[in-house]
A = this chain, B = another copy of it.
């Protein structure tokens, strides 16, 4: 692979001149410039970004850590981040943690060795303050947390108001006539899961509705837990008429559980959930869900991160960006108490 030296020799100029042509930092005489360009073409020269990174002490690479890119919500986040990053010449190094804190720790270490300029992070569940994140910050590497906030750490972030969104969602279930409403939460080591539970409790409380302990089940945001807990709840002798499921994957699990038990949604159980991937919207039952702007999570996060990087303002007080959500009301929450005649004609209300 050709080096800048070879280009310089072929063009009959010094390496400094070639560098100036490439980066455009200093002006170069027109004739020499042309000679250099021709040599670059001829040798099919591609500047060595590794060497440049070493010299400049920045790599123009961003770490992108999500729990599972296979979840349509996160693949959208990544997509958004890539778009914003690429636009400014940054590349994405992506990783999945499957929500394992240990894996997150390893990835963070790798990323520090790779000298990425910054990190976009969807944190894994953690009971205690994740020291590896603190240390990354302390090392001067900007981190922007997406969707979830790590406990006890002041860090830039892009989030939504989970409490309000969950509350609105459960309110809707109540408005549909449901009184016995259950919830399947994510791991309570995750801020988002806690907040959605809180929103649920608020809505129930302000409507003076009892919350039976057995209707509150704790999952882990994965499909299998939705399935298991769904089965359990549905087999209670006093089962709820509606279920608020804290994320999409678990809602899919609940649907499977319904199917197993010969039950149907919404006939036997109303369902409302979080996350609203376009891909599922064409199938039945259409899920009532809190839509989160997944793409914007990534895009906005990357923009914020790059701004931090380039303005060298790490250590300032954290910036937290709040994105809006929308409650998309569809057939899965149409209960026995209020079921329109028409099928498939549901409106999309927003907030």
Q: Which of A170-178, A203-211, A251-259, A315-323 lies at the interface with chain B?
A: A251-259
Interface of chain A residues 247 through 302 with chain B (CB within 8 A) = 252-253, 255-256, 259, 277, 279-280, 282-285
Contact B94 A110 (CB under 8 A): no
Binds B, one of A8-16, A44-52, A148-156, A181-189: A44-52
- Residues of chain B lying within 8 A (CB to CB) of residue A253: 282
User: Could you tell me if B82 and A49 are in contact, using CB atoms closer than 8 angstroms?
Assistant: no
Partner of A82, one of B59, B96, B113, B279: B96
Whether B94 contacts A50 by the Cβ 8 Å rule is no
- Residue in B closest to A114 when the chains form the complex, CB atoms: B49
Residues 28-58 of A contacting B (Cβ, < 8 Å): 44, 46-51, 53-54
Chain A count of residues within 8 A CB distance of the other chain: 50
Task: Please tell me how many copies of the chain the complex holds.
Answer: 2
Give the CA-CA distance A18 to B171 in the complex, in Å.
62
Distance, CA A188 to CA B44, complexed state (A) = 31
Question: Does A92 reach chain B (CB closer than 8 Å)?
Answer: yes
Q: Does A135 contact B (CB under 8 A)?
A: yes
Q: How far is the CA of A68 from the CA of B72 in the complex (A)?
A: 12
Residues of B within 8 A of A50 (CB): 50, 53-54, 59, 114-115
| A179 CB–B CB distance under 8 Å | no
A70 at the A/B interface (Cβ < 8 Å)?
A: yes
Interface centre among A61, A68, A75 (most CB of B within 10 A): A75
Enumerate chain A interface residues (CB-CB to B < 8 A): 1, 44, 46-51, 53-54, 59, 61, 68-70, 72, 75-76, 78-79, 82, 86, 91-96, 109-110, 112-115, 135, 139-140, 252-253, 255-256, 259, 277, 279-280, 282-285, 344
